Amino acid sequence: SAATDYQAEDALISQGAVATNHTGYSGSGFVDYTNVKGSYVEFTADAAAAGPASLTLRYANGTSTDRPMDLSVNGTVVASAVSFPATADWNTWASRTVNVTLKAGSNKIRATATTAAGGPNLDRVSLGTPSDTQAPTR
C-alpha cells in the first residue's frame, strides 16, 4: 500500500522554524532546524496495528558536513546518529529510510539533531510497509 506522508511543517517543532526559502519541498514548507544539538521535530502517526514500518525522511543538507540525527519512537531511540549527508545544495532533497516498530494507535516519532550544527532541513517523513519501500539504510 502507499506510504503515508507527514509534513514537517505540521509537526511539533522544538528549536526550529518553518521555512520556504528553498525550492523543491512538498506541502507548504519545510523545517529549518536551529543550529543547536537537541533541536527536534516530532511527528504523531497513527498505526492501525502494531508491527514493523519503514520510516523515510526527506531532507536537504546544503553544507559539506553530515547532520546526524537520533530517531526515536515513543521516547526510545531506535536509530542513533543516523547520517544525513550533504546534498548538492539546499534545493536538492534526498531520502533516508530506517525500519521502526510501531504500536497500534498513536505513535510519537522524533528526529533530534545530535551535533551543534542542528539537523538538516526536513521536508517530511513517510511511513510505509517494509515491503513497499527502498532498502533500509540501517
Using CB under 6 A, list all residues that contact ligand GCU.
19, 21-22, 32, 35, 63, 90, 118, 121
Nearer to ligand GCU, 104 or 116 (CB): 116
Smallest distance, ligand GCU to C-beta of residue 19, A? 6
Nearer to ligand GCU, 23 or 134 (CB): 23
Smallest distance, ligand GCU to C-beta of residue 9, A? 13
Joined grid coordinates for residue 74: 515513543
Nearer to ligand GCU, 63 or 92 (CB): 63
Taking the CA atoms of residue 76, residue 36, residue 81 and residue 16 in that order, the dihedral angle to the nearest 10 degrees is 60
For 25, 99, 112, 138, the CA distances from 73, given in Å and listed in that order, are: 24, 11, 11, 16
Output the furthest CA–CA distance in the chain (Å, rounded).
40
Joined grid coordinates for residue 53: 514500518
Nearest residue to ligand GCU, scored by beta-carbon proximity: 32
Nearer to ligand GCU, 120 or 128 (CB): 120
Smallest distance, ligand GCU to C-beta of residue 118, A? 6
Cα 62 from Cα 82, distance rounded (Å): 17
Smallest distance, ligand GCU to C-beta of residue 25, A? 11
What residues contact 16, with CB distance under 8 A and at least 6 apart? 31, 32, 33, 34, 39, 40, 41, 118, 119
Smallest distance, ligand GCU to C-beta of residue 98, A? 22
Nearer to ligand GCU, 26 or 74 (CB): 26
